[in-house]
Structure 1
Amino acid sequence: MTIAISIANEADQPSWDAFVAQHSDASPYHRYAWGQAVQAAYGFTPRYFIAKQNNDIVGVLPTIEFSRPLLKNKLCSLPYCDLGGPLATELSIVQQLLDAAKQHAKKQRFDHLQLRQLSAANQPPATPEQLQGLKVSMRMALAQSAEAQLASFKSKLRSQIRKAEKNGLHSETGNSETLLNHFYEVMLVNMRALGSPVHSYQWFEQIVKHYGSHCLLSVIYKDDIPVGGGLIVKNGTMASIPWASTKAEFNRLAPNMLLYWSLLAHCADNGIELFDFGRSTYGEGTYKFKTQWGATPTPLAWQDFNKGLAVDHSQVTNNTGADSKLSGMVKSWVVGSWQRLPLQMTGSLGPRLRKYIDL
């Protein structure tokens, strides 16, 4: 039977999302809303390839035309998140979607096509030695209720959650404009403290708008002061948390523990079976934080095509010696300089830079 590949439009959104919702390899980022938010907030053009057989969807590949000043443009699946790539009912359809994306990239003179995916499920489990230093996706199966989820945690973790509550912190969840403003206030402060440009307010506004009930904000308060904030997006029985922040001056009160618990509790009580804590470097700080909740690593296998040909990253030599030291010094200087800028300036300048950082 003939497979027809085309670029999806707004009329395809309901059937696109229905296909993504039932696909076992899909993430919340595969939903049509991600591309809508990217276009509305940053102006990049989504190219969502759709495969149909007798008018039924049998495969999808969401991509974004990602243009950067003075750098080569690329077709990315997907920017600003960990996961994208093709979803299909058969491997042959995956290849047809990839071929269509490569042809489109060539036509638009985009040298580069990037797919962000998990490692194949049929690969043998990686050993700790093999995972050392690699980027991994941290995931956890959830219990069927918040009560059961809390009972599954070790006593130390439960006491850390209670510590936040005893310290006078409380959480509020929803999608209101007030929560969004308070979430962004925390993000702005935290990203400057990390020495990194912050996304625009419009980006998060568009995520909330287009994901609707498939998005949830949680803000942690000390009295009336927002001290922590996180955002999750959902698809089917899976939820992902792409952004979570706290104000460092309040970290002694354990806002991070209550923040994650508020979102995990919501998910457990609302039919979510798998929680994606996001990307971490194996063995480092954020990895250890996520493992205490029960998350386990799955290697990320991002794949690049240059002019249609797969790039073999094993042949790329990492910087060593003097080059590596110089790179580290430059990064340290940039981070330190950003941390010293006035908050208002980072809020104005940051989004203009962050737009072009696809990670």
Structure 2
Amino acid sequence: MTIENSLELVSLQDADTSTWTRIVKSHDQSTPFHTLAWKRAIERAFDYDSRYRLVQRDGVIVGVVPGFETGGVFGTDIVQPFCEYGYPLLEPDVESIPVLQAMANDRGRFDTRIVKEAPQSRMVGYSDAGFGGIHTGVTFRLLLDRPYEDLFEQAFETEVRRNVGLAHDAGLSVRTVSDHQGITEYYNLYLATMQRLGSPQFPRSFFHGLFDEFGTDCTVLLADLDGTAVGGVLILSQGSESVIWSSASDEAHWDRSPNHLLYSTAIERACEKRAAIDFGRTSPESGVHTFKRQFGGRERSLVSMVSPPHRVGAGSLSQYRHLESVVTQLAPLITYDWVGPRLKEWIHE
């Protein structure tokens, strides 16, 4: 699709993957969800069609636009699924409005383009390009601008420090997963958590795919008690930033504070290589929000920008939260092996 000012949106081809990776690695606002590792993991586990686009100017690639075709209520949603961020990455001298206009037009009549935005993206002009916006939650981002010991004493709330000490006193220890057997251990915790919440689960293959495709940029930590995993977190990294993308725990051991220990350990490990860690999306009114806030990160709003604007509801997560009272009662069916992953694929969040 041709854009004004000699810009053009073209489909990503195999020959262009090295250029895509170069742009992502060199861009200071890239995330794990802009990488081709994320794309490959999605393709291994889900039956989506890729809508990855390159922004080309006079034959030179000057930006990347990630996304997949997913199921929608009416037509198709074009979105980067299962993550917090899916905005374009552009070279500094590329105007964002013409690119956004092309993205808005790069869809069928009944399709919806959803762009998961964040304050750091520096994309401007969504309204001028024909997008509407909707709030989807918040995240906490902790700058790792000092040694972990200082963060522990200065940024963490007293309750965190107390619970980390309690976890150690209770005999919990943390190990890093190094093989697919460990991924299976984490998935079993994750599946039990989804069953408790009455929420459809990712297929097992997705977690194994993330482990394979991200390599050392996928870290899974397990909290052990007497050799048994009672909690875990899955962390994805790109460049100087890490994202705690998934977490799970056995509620029978919450009194031993495995989640506090896992988050503090994730932060400690990130301090060795990264400049910031993101705690992932949460609802402002939730208990998870209260938990994450204790670690001293800065709260930031998350927004989805939607075209056409009258379909802005397609970018909202509240439509799924309204079903919570129903799905809890249906949890055994919703999390059944062949039901949950297919429902998750359709929801794409």
Q: Which TM class, normalised by the smaller chain length?
A: 0.7 to 0.9
> What amino acid does structure 2 have at the position aligned with 1:17?
T
Residues 177-230 of structure 1, C-alpha deviations (whole Å, 9 max, x = no match): 121011101001011001111110011111112111221111111112111111
> In the alignment, is the contact (CA less than 8 A) between 1:87 and 1:94 conserved in 2?
no
Residue type at the aligned position of 1:282: P
Q: What SS class does the counterpart of residue 216 from structure 1 fall into?
A: strand
Structure 1 runs not aligned, ≥5 long: 124-132
Q: 1:45 to 1:313 in 2, by over 3 A?
A: closer
1:20–1:157 Cα change, 3 Å: same
Q: Does 1:240 align with 2:243?
A: yes
**Residue 56 of structure 2 is aligned to residue 52 of structure 1:** yes
Matching residue of 1:112: 112
Letter in 1 for 2:275: E
Give the corresponding residue for 1:358. Answer: 348
The residue number in structure 2 matching 1:128 is none
How many residue pairs align between the two structures? 329
| C-alpha distance in structure 2 between counterparts of 1:245 and 1:119, whole Å | 28
TM-score normalised by structure 2 residue count: 0.84
Please give the alpha-carbon distance, in whole angstroms, between the structure 1 residues aligned to 2:100 and 2:181. 42
Is the CA contact 1:188–1:347 (under 8 Å) kept in the aligned structure 2? no
Tell me the residue number matched to 1:181: 184
Deviation at 1:247, TM superposition (A): 1.0
Offset from partner CA, 1:301-320 (integer Å, 9 cap, x none): 211113xxx33859xxxx9x
The two structures have a TM-score, normalised by structure 1, of 0.82
- Tell whether 2:18 aligns with 1:14: yes
Match of 1:129 in 2: none
Whether 2:42 is the aligned partner of 1:38: answer yes
Secondary structure of the residue aligned to 1:240 is: strand
| Distance apart, 1:156 and its partner CA | 3.7
Matches within 5 A, 1:190-209: 190-209=193-212
For 1:284-315, what per-residue CA distance to the aligned partner results, in whole angstroms no more than 9, with x for missing partners?
32221111001121111211113xxx33859x
Please state whether the residue corresponding to 2:161 is helix, strand or coil. helix
Rate the CA distance shift 1:209–1:163 in 2: closer, same or farther, 3 A. Answer: same
Gaps of 5+ in 2: 124-134
CA–CA distance in structure 2, aligned partners of residues 102 and 35 of structure 1 = 21
Distance 1:236 1:171 in 2: 24
1:268, distance to aligned residue in structure 2 (A): 0.6
Query: What does 1:287-326 align with in structure 2 at a 5 Å threshold?
Result: 287-306=289-308, 310-311=309-310
Aligned partner of residue 351 in structure 1, secondary structure: helix
> Is the counterpart of residue 260 in structure 1 residue 263 in structure 2?
yes
For 2:305 and 2:347, locate their aligned partners in 1 and report how far apart those are by CA, in whole Å.
18
Partner residue, 1:28: 32
Is the counterpart of residue 250 in structure 1 residue 253 in structure 2? yes
Q: Is the 8 A contact 1:238 1:274 kept in 2?
A: yes
Of residues 145, 148, 171, the one that matches 1:146 is 148
- Counterpart for residue 279 of structure 1: 281
Shift of the 250–311 alpha-carbon distance from structure 1 to 2, 3 Å rule, reads: same
Equivalent residue of 2:280, what SS? strand
Deviation digits for residues 94-123 of structure 1, max 9, x if unmatched? 3343344334312xx552111110147889
Distance 1:134 1:80 in 2: 13
Q: Report the CA distance shift for 1:6/1:235 in structure 2 as closer, same or farther (over 3 A).
A: same
- Partner Cα distance (1:170, 1:250) in 2: 13
- Give the alignment's Cα RMSD to 1 decimal: 2.9
1:175–1:208 Cα contact (<8 Å) kept: no
Match of 1:130 in 2: none
Equivalent residue, structure 1, for 2:229 = 226
Give the CA deviation at 1:169: 1.0
Percent of aligned pairs with the same amino acid: 24
